[in-house]
């Protein structure tokens, strides 16, 4: 959809990717016929499934990166004082998540 272009461009920019490459990855699959690769458009349902799976993967990697960065800030192996990161299960099942839920999670 043309109305999705600003969102696509923003996501691609934040991830340091080309918007056209992200669009192609989310909307097409490559099929090989007689040794020749062809792009075939995904169904809307498959494209949405791929988008959601990619978003969850990016979220998971970002969460792991944040925890790793926090842990690197401590110059010692053990301490009585610590900062914990709590992952509250369940938000991923909401039909629509808000920024506040992201921050809580």
Cβ-Cβ contacts under 8 Å for 5 (sequence gap 6 or more): 19
Cα 88 to Cα 101: distance, rounded to the nearest angstrom: 9
pLDDT tens for each residue of 3-61: 889 999 999 999 999 999 999 999 999 999 899 999 999 999 999 999 999 999 998 89
Give the CA radius of gyration of the chain. Answer: 19
Assessment of whether the complete model's pTM goes beyond 0.85: no
Give the torsion sign (CA, 95, 41, 14, 83): positive
CA distance 60 to 55: 9
pLDDT digits (tens, 9 = 90+) for 51-89: 999 999 998 899 888 888 887 877 777 766 666 666 666
Distance CA 49, CA 11 (A): 17
């Amino acid at each position: 959809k043309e109305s999705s272009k600003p969102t696509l461009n923003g996501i691609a920019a934040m991830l340091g990717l080309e918007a056209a490459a992200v669009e192609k990855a989310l909307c097409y699959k490559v099929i090989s016929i007689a040794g020749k690769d062809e792009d075939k458009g995904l169904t809307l349902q498959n494209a949405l499934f791929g988008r959601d799976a990619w978003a969850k993967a990016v979220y998971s990697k970002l969460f792991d990166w944040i925890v790793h960065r926090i842990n690197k800030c401590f110059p010692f192996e053990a301490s009585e004082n610590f900062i914990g990161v709590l992952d509250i299960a369940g938000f991923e099942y909401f039909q629509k998540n808000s920024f506040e839920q992201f921050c809580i999670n």
